[in-house]
């Protein structure tokens, strides 16, 4: 019995342990899932069909709407403001030549009367000197004197002095009338009042600011353009463009009523490179921005509105327009060929925009361009385009294919 516990039992336990290990390994092998053969499995991807097109490229910019002309009204004469137009309020609309403010004209009317009286007196003096000069010449002849009488005899200096007095009086009258006109504050354009600084009863001195107005016949937007943008635009030099040279622009902005659009034209370029941003500014013009002059039918475009601009660029022929996301960093795109095999195709890019890319070579019309993102595309990989029925082979999404690769590696 002692021999059994000392030799036979330990040996039996060792044999039993070995048998149990063998059984467990066998069971584990029996439950292990079969490895899938993914060698010929097609990866399902999204793709779009390439289409050839001929179109005008667009260049995008942005800017703030500003008036063509803005005026700071300043008093040219002093006096008390005796009347203010009902339109002289912030946002008030006025017509060309409308009197916006009236400064007390009484002193200036008196000055005009005084200047008129002075002119009349000067003219009387001139007439007297002319009569005296003519009489002196007659006396010289009647006395039988020979030769030409002197200037002093003919009173030529006195006549010249009288003529100068008339001219000075006329100038004084013109100045008095001009000062009287300056008591009526008006501007030579249809416009709106931006700011009002004075009101009835206030005394103003020459140089006192009265308000700010701006013209509403046209509005302007300065659009910054980079050197790359200029390559796709046909803009002449810095001079104002002729009607046939102007470039169409579509402006857009969001407001409380949703998105709105306005038609404009680039009428000139400033011709100076900004030292800070290294851009050139083109100026777009909108006719009758407030729609009050009957020259346009577009919605009201308020001054100060921030707008986005789509500028019509050069025309390109036979290009393929694709989403910007399909263009890879090395200027290649993924193509699903007729056999639904993956190709990594280099392309020639005419222009790349934030949303679209325009390709002139490398992709033909009718080819399928893969839009699904693939981190490590393998040329020759079998593909299945979403929406098509794969022929003869199972299909899996690109993400599932990656999982299968991982499991196979284990």
pLDDT in the model for residue 201: 93
Q: Element (H or E) spanning 187, and its range?
A: none
**Helix then strand then coil, % of the chain, to nearest 5:** 30, 35, 35
Q: Give the pLDDT of residue 314.
A: 85
When pLDDT is cut at 50, 70 and 90, the band that residue 14 belongs to is confident
Q: For domain 43-54+317-409, is the CATH number 2.40.420.20?
A: yes
Q: Which of 183, 193, 215, 202 is nearest to 87 (CA)?
A: 193
Tell me which residue of 161, 173, 208, 190 sits closest to 93, measured CA to CA: 190
- CATH number belonging to the domain at 76-214, selected among 3.40.50.1010, 3.40.50.720, 2.40.50.100, 1.10.468.10: 2.40.50.100
Range picked from 58-72, 124-138, 338-352 for highest mean pLDDT: 58-72
Say if residue 393's pLDDT is above 50: no
Confidence label for 204 from pLDDT (cuts 50, 70 and 90): very high
Higher pLDDT, 76 or 313: 76
Domain spanning 59-67+215-316: CATH 3.40.50.10420:
no
Pairing of strands 42-45, 395-397: parallel
Look at residue 293 and tell me whether its pLDDT is greater than 50: yes
Contact present, 283 and 266 (Cβ < 8 Å):
yes
Q: Where in the chain is the domain with CATH 2.40.420.20?
A: 43-54+317-409
How high is the pLDDT of residue 3? 59
pLDDT in tens, 22-31: 877 776 665 5
- Angle subtended at Cα 210 by Cα 206 and Cα 216, rounded to the nearest 5 degrees: 130
Q: What is the number of residues in the chain?
A: 410
Is 80 exceeded by the pLDDT of residue 311?
yes
In the chain, list all ranges with CATH 2.40.30.170. Answer: 59-67+215-316
Beta strands in 98-201 (DSSP E): 101-103, 184-185, 191-196
Mean of pLDDT values over 42-66: 87
- At 272, is the pLDDT very low, low, confident or very high (cuts 50, 70, 90)? confident
For residue 262, the surrounding DSSP H or E stretch is strand 258-273
Strand partners, 319: 53
CA distance 194 to 373: 53
Classify 294 as helix, strand or coil. coil
Give the least confident one: 49-53, 147-151, 286-290: 147-151
Residue 410's pLDDT band (cuts 50, 70, 90): very low
Given a cut of 60, whether residue 405 has pLDDT beyond it is no
């Amino acid at each position: 019995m002692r021999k059994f516990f000392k030799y036979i039992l330990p040996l039996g336990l060792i044999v039993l342990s070995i048998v149990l290990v063998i059984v467990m390994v066998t069971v584990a092998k029996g439950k292990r899932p079969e490895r899938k053969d993914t060698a010929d499995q097609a990866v399902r991807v999204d793709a779009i069909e390439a289409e050839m097109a001929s179109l005008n490229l667009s260049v995008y910019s942005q800017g703030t709407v500003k008036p063509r002309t803005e005026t700071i009204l300043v008093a040219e004469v002093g006096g008390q403001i005796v009347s203010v137009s009902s339109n002289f309020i912030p946002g008030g609309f006025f017509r060309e030549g409308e009197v916006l403010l009236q400064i007390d004209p009484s002193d200036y009317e008196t000055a005009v009367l005084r200047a008129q009286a002075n002119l009349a007196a000067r003219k009387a003096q001139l007439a007297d000197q002319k009569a005296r000069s003519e009489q002196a010449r007659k006396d010289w002849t009647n006395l039988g004197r020979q030769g030409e009488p002197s200037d002093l005899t003919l009173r030529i200096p006195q006549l010249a002095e009288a003529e100068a007095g008339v001219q000075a009086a006329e100038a004084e009258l013109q100045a008095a009338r001009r000062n009287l006109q300056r008591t009526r504050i008006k501007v030579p354009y249809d416009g709106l009042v931006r700011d009002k600084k004075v009101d009835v009863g206030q005394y103003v001195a020459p140089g006192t600011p009265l308000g700010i107005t701006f013209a509403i016949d046209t509005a302007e937007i300065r659009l910054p353009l980079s050197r790359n943008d200029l390559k796709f635009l046909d803009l002449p030099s810095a001079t104002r463009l002729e009607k046939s040279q102007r470039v169409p622009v579509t402006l857009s902005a969001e407001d409380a009523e949703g998105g709105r659009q306005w038609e404009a034209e680039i009428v000139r370029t400033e011709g100076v490179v900004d030292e800070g941003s290294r851009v050139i500014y083109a100026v777009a013009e909108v006719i009758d921005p407030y729609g009050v002059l009957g020259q346009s039918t577009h919605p009201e475009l308020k001054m100060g509105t921030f707008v986005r601009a789509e500028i019509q660029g050069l025309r390109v022929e036979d290009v393929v327009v694709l989403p910007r996301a399909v263009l890879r960093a090395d200027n290649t795109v993924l193509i699903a060929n007729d056999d639904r095999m993956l190709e990594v195709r280099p392309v020639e890019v005419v222009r790349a925009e934030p949303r679209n890319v325009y390709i002139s070579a490398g992709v033909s019309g009718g080819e399928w361009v893969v839009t699904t993102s693939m981190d490590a595309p393998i040329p020759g990989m079998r593909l299945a385009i979403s929406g098509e029925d794969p022929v003869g082979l199972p299909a899996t999404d690109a993400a599932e294919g990656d999982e299968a690769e991982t499991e196979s590696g284990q």
